[in-house]
């Protein structure tokens, strides 16, 4: 091989190695320089996620709470920004995250991008300030437990549901039989209680009267600009406005983000491909 | 062949390259530097999340250090190639060589003439000054200060006519 080509390749490899090493130092220093933790809440909010690489994007409360606690414990972090793009999720997962947010002893700002509805709004309401894009969708303070019921379809194909239960309401909410009146009452009562809890939390977090929140908590969605008018959002804008707000609220002259990585091993991702995803289970599922 | 002595003794076959040839060679080098800086991509995205304007992060010490590290890689690219081979890859394509006013090109000269790529004051001033010098004096200010030249190897048909 021509000497010049050989030397060119050697020099390129040396520079690439140096470049890779230098970049690795910056990656290792994650959290070392930054003063604002950026935590993303994207997709359906659930308490446990699927490991599969093909799984739907989800905001897993367990992981998010861990990130929040990490940010709170880090003395270098002066504020936390939650970048929200979620339609909500399960009540417990949303509540877990909202409670963790409330415990943070630092400035917290929620940035609602495309959507921050239901459980995602619950989390946003726990922050000190909420920034939302004027065209984002927010609100939807309500609880849903609707599901598809197949008993009619099964009957049509002459398939019967052999009910074997110990405890009258054990199979309440199964899609294979119609709800009885008492079951419907029980489920509806659960939804009302959850809704009530949700309303109280939003009222407390946003410092609004419970009656007022009850009035607007019909489960309807609001555009960002409407939400601002009714007090569900503080500032209209996007990331730049959120950064400006953080600078002002946390008294920072410079914002340097820290993002916590949630790494999954290749093996667990591959294993997840063949595992069952409980979030896709049929039947009654109550979500906020 | 010792390029330095060839030019310094005014041998035929070498000349000062045109502004456009040097610009094209530089663009090729920029493309290669861009590839060499690929490992930094995720580090940059870690500091500036997608969708946020760069302005919001002005003054960020983390960003400044990252820019310095990336600039160092770019300087290293030019300095190493020009010191060891007298040519960067862009210059190889256009048959351009770096020579020194002194007998041999020293490492400080190779590094010094490449400092213009650092996007921090005062080097950033060279982004304006160097091209102006190149147009009017066929030599960048950085080259004058480091006592270096860039020359072009002429094709045989041009040597006869020179």
Alpha-helical (H) ranges within B50-125 are 61-85, 89-93, 107-112
pLDDT at B7 over 60: no
Is cis: bond before A120, omega within 30 of 0? no
- Burial tier of A12 (Cβ tally within 10 Å: 0-12, 13-18, 19+): middle
pLDDT tops 90 at residue A202: yes
Instruction: Using CB atoms, pick whichever of B47, B59, B80 lies closest to residue A15.
Output: B80
- Of chain A, the percentage scoring pLDDT greater than 90 comes to 58
Whether the pLDDT of residue A163 is over 90: the answer is no
DSSP state, B155?
A: P
* pLDDT at residue A284 tops 90: no
Residues from A contacting B (CB-CB < 8 Å) are: 4, 7-8, 11-12, 14-16, 18-20, 22-27, 30, 33-34, 38, 83, 238-240, 243-244, 253-257, 259
pLDDT, one tens digit per residue, over A81-95 is 999 999 999 999 999
What pLDDT is attached to residue A1? Answer: 58
Would you place residue A280 in the very low, low, confident or very high pLDDT band (cuts 50, 70, 90)? very low
- Model confidence at B1: pLDDT above 60: no
pLDDT-based confidence at residue A260 (cuts at 50, 70, 90): confident
Which residues touch A140 (CB under 8 Å, ≥6 apart)? A87, A88, A117, A118, A121, A219, A220, A221
Q: Is the pLDDT of residue B33 over 60?
A: yes
**Sign of the C-alpha dihedral computed for residues B1, B5, B7 and B10 taken in this order:** negative
Q: Predicted confidence band at B54 (pLDDT cuts at 50, 70, 90)?
A: low
pLDDT for residue A278: 47
* Residue A279: predicted pLDDT: 44
- In angstroms, the Cα distances linking B45 to A67, A139, A260, B54 are 19, 31, 13, 11
Contact between A47 and A92 (Cβ < 8 Å): yes
In Å, the largest CA–CA distance within chain B is: 58
Provide the 3-class DSSP secondary structure of residue A33: coil
Residues with Cβ within 8 Å of residue A19, at least 6 apart in sequence: B36, B37, B38, B39, B40, B73
pLDDT, residue A85, reads 95
Instruction: Output B21-28 pairs: Cβ under 8 A, ≥24 positions apart.
Output: B21/B94, B21/B96, B21/B152, B22/B94, B22/B96, B22/B134, B22/B150, B24/B90, B24/B94, B25/B88, B25/B90, B25/B91, B25/B93, B25/B94, B25/B96, B26/B90, B27/B90, B28/B89, B28/B90, B28/B93, B28/B94
pLDDT surpassing 60 at residue B53: no
Distance from CA of B86 to the nearest CA of A (A): 11
Cβ proximity of A127 and A106 under 8 Å: no
Instruction: Please tell me the distance from the alpha carbon of residue B11 to that of residue B159, in angstroms, as a whole number.
Output: 10
Give residue B27's pLDDT.
95
Tally of CA atoms within 13 A in the half-sphere of A223 that contains its CB: 4
Res A182 pLDDT > 90: yes
Q: Taking 80 as the threshold, does the pLDDT of residue A130 lie above it?
A: yes
Q: B36, B45, B56: best mutation site toward chain A, by most A Cβ within 10 Å?
A: B56
Average pLDDT over chain B reads: 82
B59 or A101, higher pLDDT: A101
Are A240 and B37 within 8 A, CB to CB? no
pLDDT one-digit tens code per residue, B96-138: 999 988 878 899 999 999 998 888 888 888 888 988 988 888 8
* A73 has a pLDDT exceeding 50: yes
Average pLDDT of span A64-71: 92
**pLDDT tier at A281 (50, 70, 90 boundaries)?**
very low
Q: How far is B18 from chain A (nearest CA, A)?
A: 24
Q: How confident is the model at residue A118 (pLDDT cuts 50, 70, 90)?
A: very high
Overall average pLDDT of the A122-141 stretch: 96
Dihedral class, residue B13 (left if φ above 0, else alpha if ψ from -120 to 50, else beta): left
In total, chain B counts a number of residues equal to 162
Cα–Cα distance, B60 to B34 (Å, whole number): 22
Predicted local confidence at residue A83, as pLDDT: 94
pLDDT of residue B154: 74
Average of pLDDT values for A256-267? Answer: 67
Q: What is the mean pLDDT of residues B41-58?
A: 65
Q: Among A119-123, A247-251, B2-6, B141-145, which stretch is predicted with the lowest mean pLDDT?
A: B2-6
Say what the pLDDT of residue B14 is.
75
A118 counts as catalytic: yes
Cα torsion angle, A140, A70, A105, A75, sign: negative
For residue B159, what are the contacts with CB-CB under 8 A and spacing of at least 6?
B12, B13
* Best to test chain A binding among B46, B79, B80 (most A CBs inside 10 Å): B46
Q: What is the pTM of this model?
A: 0.62
Q: Tell me which residue has tokens 């880090």.
A: A74
Mean pLDDT of A217-230: 95
Instruction: Kindly state the tokens that stand for A281.
Output: 């289970």
CA atoms within 13 A on the CB side of A36: 32
- pLDDT for position A231: 95
Residue A244 confidence (pLDDT) above 60 = yes
Write down the pLDDT at residue A52. 55
Give residue A25's pLDDT. 80
Q: Which residue has the higher pLDDT, A271 or A250?
A: A250
Residue B76 has which token pair? Answer: 């290293």
Q: What is the largest CA-CA distance in chain A?
A: 87
> What integer pLDDT is reported at residue A210 of this predicted model?
95
The answer on pLDDT for A139 being more than 90 is yes
């Amino acid at each position: 091989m021509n000497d010049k080509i050989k030397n060119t390749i050697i020099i390129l490899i040396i520079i690439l190695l140096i470049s890779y090493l230098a970049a690795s130092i910056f990656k290792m220093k994650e959290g070392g320089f930054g003063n604002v933790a950026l935590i993303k809440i994207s997709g359906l909010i659930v308490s446990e996620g699927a490991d599969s690489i093909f799984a739907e994007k989800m905001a897993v409360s367990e992981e998010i709470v861990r990130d929040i606690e990490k940010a709170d414990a880090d003395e270098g972090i002066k504020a936390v920004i939650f970048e929200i793009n979620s339609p909500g999720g399960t009540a417990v997962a949303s509540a877990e995250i909202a409670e963790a947010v409330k415990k943070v002893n630092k400035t917290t700002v929620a940035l609602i991008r495309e959507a921050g509805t239901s459980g995602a709004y619950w989390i946003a309401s726990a922050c000190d300030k909420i920034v939302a894009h004027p065209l984002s969708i927010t609100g939807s303070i309500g609880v849903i437990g609707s599901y598809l019921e197949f008993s009619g379809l099964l009957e049509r194909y002459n398939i019967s549901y052999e009910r074997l239960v110990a405890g009258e309401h054990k199979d309440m909410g199964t899609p294979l039989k119609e709800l009885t009146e008492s079951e419907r009452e029980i489920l509806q009562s659960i939804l009302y209680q959850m809704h009530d809890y949700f309303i109280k939390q939003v009222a407390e977090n946003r410092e609004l009267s419970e009656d007022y929140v009850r009035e607007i908590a019909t489960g309807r969605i609001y555009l960002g600009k409407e939400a601002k008018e009714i007090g569900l959002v503080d500032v209209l804008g996007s990331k730049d406005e959120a950064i400006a707000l953080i600078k002002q609220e946390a008294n920072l002259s410079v914002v340097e983000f820290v993002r916590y990585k949630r790494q999954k091993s290749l093996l667990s991702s591959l294993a997840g491909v063949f595992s069952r995803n409980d979030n896709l289970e049929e039947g009654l599922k109550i979500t906020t | 062949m010792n390029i330095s002595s060839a030019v310094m003794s005014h041998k035929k076959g070498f000349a000062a390259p045109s502004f456009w040839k040097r610009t094209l060679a530089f663009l090729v080098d920029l493309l290669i530097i861009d590839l060499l800086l690929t490992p930094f991509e995720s580090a940059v995205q870690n500091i500036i999340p997608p969708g946020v304007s760069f302005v919001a992060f002005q003054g960020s010490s983390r960003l400044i250090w990252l820019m310095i590290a990336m600039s160092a890689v770019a300087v290293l690219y030019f300095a190493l190639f020009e010191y060891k081979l007298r040519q960067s890859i862009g210059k190889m394509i256009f048959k351009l060589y770096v020579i020194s006013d002194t007998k041999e090109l020293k490492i400080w000269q190779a590094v010094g003439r490449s400092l213009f790529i650092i996007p921090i004051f005062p080097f950033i001033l060279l982004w304006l000054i160097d091209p102006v010098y190149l147009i009017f004096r066929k030599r960048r200010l950085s080259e004058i200060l480091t006592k270096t030249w860039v020359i072009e190897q002429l094709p045989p048909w041009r040597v006869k006519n020179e």
